[in-house]
Structure 1
């Protein structure tokens, strides 16, 4: 709030400073162009009009236009044809807000909303030139300056694109937001809420999630509620700017051990046959205006309102969107004047304090095959995320938090609140803003282009990957640990939807490397799934198949898989994580089942929990055997023991820091493993007590059956 106040004050000071010397102004805005005028492509796009007050021509190329107060450089007006971007003295220029800059210099890379928003223009040095906040617009009625020499603003029933504004109806632009006597939260027993605003104007409100209009309830007395309720309220009065909507979620006698997400969406935007996102769930682009509130329960289970933000929401997921219980993605918008970010560190596991968007993932699947029948007990993504945290996994994964979701005050079920896996995810986790993001095993661009990836694949196809010099060149282009960890996880799961559930990215900065994102890991097959045969024999994964022909890569992949099987995917560890994950949500699972039992087919309670525990016991041994059989290795599995005095130091095998006095693991014989003796402070490595080992602190050895590693440390005198 302090940040927003300071920013607003900053803008105000600059704006006042420029009043006398200002030569370029935002003259008029139309955010609801239905049949007024058309661009050069015959489209009825919204627009912004600029006016040059000066006696000289102004060149707009290089200036910045934005609809986000926290992102002043959102769109830069291009230099391609400066004849199109100049404004002659005492003349106007119209720019189309259509998110289609490929149509020309005067087409901007974002759109604006009919319900209102913010626009500002900056010069090439990002000094503010002019800005305008506008309220909700009626179709074909514009908003702008009554005359160029004043700050008086008003509506124009007859818009005047590229002409002088005429007959404007002046409005008071000072915000007059409704205040509530009770903040959003959880309460015991019936509550009474009073609404108020400055100068006692008419206040209209709704209790069903709809946006208040003049046909909504007029506030005349305190509102009494005795059950979960959402209130939306605003001032609507002639001569005043249509004010921002005040939103609040009230939970009465409601308890939740999990954090809570409250989605407030107009019922018409949910259920309307033409534009409702729930009714038109197959349309992946349709979205609805929303308000999102997040109540954080991570502080000793006390639910605290941490996010209350305007947003746009869509139905998320692929085939699962056909289920009655659907996933939602939501994106922060600036309609509340607070920028386009959710400003709160939602996930304890990551030091990320703001997000452009988040999503709540439903416990619902498509039901395509037996492995998909997990409704009511789907937690495999979460299990893999926890395992990879333990293993310091180098493949990117989305953080998650189980939450209870309420839609317009109605309980909607158990969900997982998660990061979104787009450009914002990459920036938040790696600090890279300019990236190429690809998907599919045959490389399709999500963002950016595929040219550099195609060049790498062509290089691999034209050269002998078995040669270390060629492999080293590939290592300059891919983050090999990320790629290895990606396929370790896929192989453990026995996943087969590998052609679609894959995403990889690379920064556009010099010397950047391709990295992989692991997600949507729900389709596990049997514990006896021959994954390597499926991936490598049928040409399904060209890069993986080619790299496996290089001995160094193959050894590294096998060792990393063995590390996972000895720690993260060790049966006892997986079973413990399953109990932790399912125990945390046990109460909410029962409520979720009751909520959806009449419209969704749930798995028998406990059935899939038992299935995955059985999988955890059987899968490691099978994978080791599968590796030996598939690569036709002459040797078997080596049983490794580490015996050490952890008060003096410890051993690290490959990527595993071993902190126990006695440890056992299994590796593939004759595959070199890396072993390091790490002394504690005040101690030094002395020798290996084990027979036949080089007497060095760091060694690489090919193991044989029943090998022991016993480091001896000595105190530094």
Structure 2
């Protein structure tokens, strides 16, 4: 356990009895504002000292003593805590105040932030920091109103943490900044798995979100972590008792998804995005492709990782539009379908090149998956196909043979990726899941990280045949007449 996590656990234990009585009150709630105001911070405890910060840092470590109301006249992040006569700290209270007009003047040299980010992983060099709102847009009388108006059209996610947690240049698992050491999939992977404490606020939007919770922050993704390819990294939020609640209980996606989460992903989109390193991809940039695959799968009647577009702020700096979505895991399966974490097998591909790709169990084990693969690669054997779908050779359900593949789900999944021409698949970017104790339900596939779809109307992937992956399965299954007929039926719908 890291010293940082231990510090937070000790702080939580020390303040369990006191924090509820000593929690601070801010006179103005977090949100979007257009006029300056005075902010009063009060504590119900007499003779207690209030400390605060305005740079994202922890007021228990770097706080200034509060001596009266604070003037708030631009985008601000205020964190505050109480120190009692018994030298016991309260929990930290955090509030972000967004002034849309401030976005127009967000420059490239914010106080205390580095001019350079992480070192390149595949080539020599270091990423030049980019905090600035594009002056060609913000300084344009035609476009600048869209910036200030647009910030109110989506919910806001504000992540607040000490700057060192993001940008410290020490290559240390406890002190190092996760935006400097990004955990690249090539090289030594320094930074992979590092987590840092963060305050997560979810504000506004059509549902009027009003959430503040402490959790931990990690970087997310594969090649999108490479500083030379992508300056705008994706994040993951994990809810752990070492930082705050063990599980988030809040309707992040309204009634479109369960209201309990172990983790959330803030997807930035890498392929065919405006920040992509390749000019050809930038010229075809859209933020709709990945979400199109997920929502299309939902309309076919299959579960998905529900997503929501948001505006992201880091310590009050606008970081861009992201898609916040559910993370696919054993807990995702429990929340959507039931059972316990220990019941679920969640499988993904282990990457690599060539015609054979070994799957690995992200959660659970791979026994049923291997059994399914063995049966698929005996096709067109009729009896084995029947066993694959939980039937005897006579085509009737038979308890002797557990269902290993959800045929309709698999067909839907393949139709989406083939129709969309997904060129960054299926050597990676897929998940499958199954409850090993529900023997009448087979593995289901779920769309994930599908940014490279709907690029070319002539893209044809029907000849792709990666062994042990969805395209390899399809090639074998199409040799079986019953499956081929069912596939054609679904394709016609």
TM-score, length-normalised on structure 2?
0.74
Q: Which residue number in structure 1 is paired with residue 426 of structure 2?
A: 498
Aligned to 1:507: 435
Q: Distance in 2 between matches of 1:314 and 1:363?
A: 16
User: Matched residue of 1:534: which SS?
Assistant: coil
Match of 2:153 in 1: 257
CA distance 1:193–1:334, change in 2 (3 Å): farther
| Residue in structure 1 matched with residue 77 of structure 2 by the alignment | 230
1:336 deviation in Å? 7.2
SS in 1 for 2:28: coil
Task: Summarize the Cα distance change of 1:401–1:523 in structure 2 as closer, same or farther, 3 Å threshold.
Answer: same
Higher RCO (CA < 8 A, seq sep 6+): 2
2:211 to 298, 307, 318: 307
Instruction: Say if 2:219 and 2:234, in contact at 8 Å, map to a contact too.
Output: yes
Match of 2:40 in 1: 194
1:288 aligns with 2:196: yes
2:382 counterpart of 1:468: yes
Name the structure 1 match of 2:51. Answer: 204
**Alignment match, 1:658:** none
Deviation at 1:217, TM superposition (A): 1.0
Alignment of 1:309-324 (within 5 A): 309-322=213-226, 323-324=230-231
Q: Which residue of structure 2 aligns with residue 407 of structure 1?
A: 314
**Residue aligning to 1:103:** none
SS at match of 1:527: coil
* 1:259-658 alignment runs, 5 A limit: 259-274=155-170, 275-282=176-183, 283-299=191-207, 304-322=208-226, 323-334=230-241, 339-348=245-254, 350-365=256-271, 367=276, 372-373=281-282, 376-392=285-301, 394=302, 396-433=303-340, 434-440=343-349, 441-461=357-377, 463=378, 465-476=379-390, 477-496=404-423, 497-511=425-439, 512-524=441-453, 526-535=456-465, 541-563=471-493
Structure 1 partner of 2:143: none
Is 2:31–2:97's contact at 8 Å kept on the other side of the alignment? yes
Deviation per CA, 1:284-317: give whole Å up to 9, x if none: 3011100111114124xxxx34221111011112
Alignment CA distance shift 1:368-1:549 (3 Å): farther
> Which blocks of at least 5 consecutive residues in structure 1 are unaligned?
1-30, 35-111, 119-132, 137-152, 154-170, 564-717
Cα distance, 1:390–1:542 mapped onto 2, change above 3 Å:
closer
Deviations 1:486-540 (A, max 9, x none): 1111211222320111111111214142111111111235322331112379998
Q: 2:80 is paired with a residue of what secondary structure?
A: strand
State the alpha-carbon separation in 2 of the partners of residues 553 and 374 from structure 1.
Answer: 40
- Structure 2 gap segments, 5+ residues each: 102-150, 171-175, 184-190, 350-356, 391-403
Contact 1:437–1:446 (Cα < 8 Å) also in 2: yes
Structure 1 CA distance for aligned equivalents of residues 38 and 89 of structure 2: 26
Q: 1:557 to 1:117 in 2, by over 3 A?
A: farther
Deviations 1:602-636 (A, max 9, x none): xxxxxxxxxxxxxxxxxxxxxxxxxxxxxxxxxxx
Distance in 2, matches of 1:460 and 1:233, equals 59
Query: Separation in 2 of the partners of 1:438 and 1:402?
Result: 27
**CA shift in 2, pair 1:276/1:456, >3 Å:** same
* Pair member with larger Rg: 1
Which residue number in structure 1 is paired with residue 7 of structure 2?
114
Q: Does the residue aligned with 1:532 lie in a helix, a strand or coil? A: coil
The CA distance in 1 between the partners of 2:279 and 2:360, in whole Å, is 29
Q: Structure 2 matches for 1:86-165, cutoff 5 A?
A: 113-116=6-9, 134-135=13-14
SS at match of 1:276: coil
Q: In the TM superposition, what is the alpha-carbon distance from 1:219 to its structure 2 partner?
A: 0.7
Distance across 1 between alignment mates of 2:205 and 2:3 = 44
Aligned to 1:167: none
Closer, same or farther in 2 for the Cα pair 1:190/1:115, shift >3 Å? Answer: same
- Compared with structure 1, are the counterparts of its residues 538 and 369 closer, same or farther at alpha carbon in structure 2 (3 Å cutoff)? farther
Q: CA–CA distance in 2 between the matches of 1:535 and 1:417?
A: 32
Helix, strand or coil at the partner of 1:364: coil
Contact kept in structure 2, 1:173 and 1:241, CA below 8 Å? no
- Number of residue pairs aligned between Structure 1 and Structure 2: 400
**8 Å CA contact retained: 1:174, 1:241:** no
Find the aligned partners of 2:74 and 2:321 in 1 and give their Cα distance.
20
**Which segment drifts farther, 180-189 or 414-423?**
180-189
Does the 8 Å CA contact 2:306/2:325 hold for their aligned counterparts?
Answer: yes
CA–CA distance in 1 between the matches of 2:489 and 2:10?
55
8 Å CA contact 1:363, 1:375 repeated in 2: no
Q: Could you say which residue in structure 2 is the equivalent of 1:655?
A: none
Mark the CA change 1:276 to 1:538 in structure 2 (over 3 Å): closer, same or farther.
closer
C-alpha deviations, 1:92-130, integer Å up to 9, x for none?
xxxxxxxxxxxxxxxxxxxx5312369xxxxxxxxxxxx
CA contact (8 A) 1:436 1:507 kept: yes
Q: Which residue of 2 aligns with 1:40?
A: none
Deviation for aligned residue 1:214 = 5.2
Q: 1:540 to 1:409 in 2, by over 3 A?
A: closer
Distance 1:450 1:467 in 2: 23
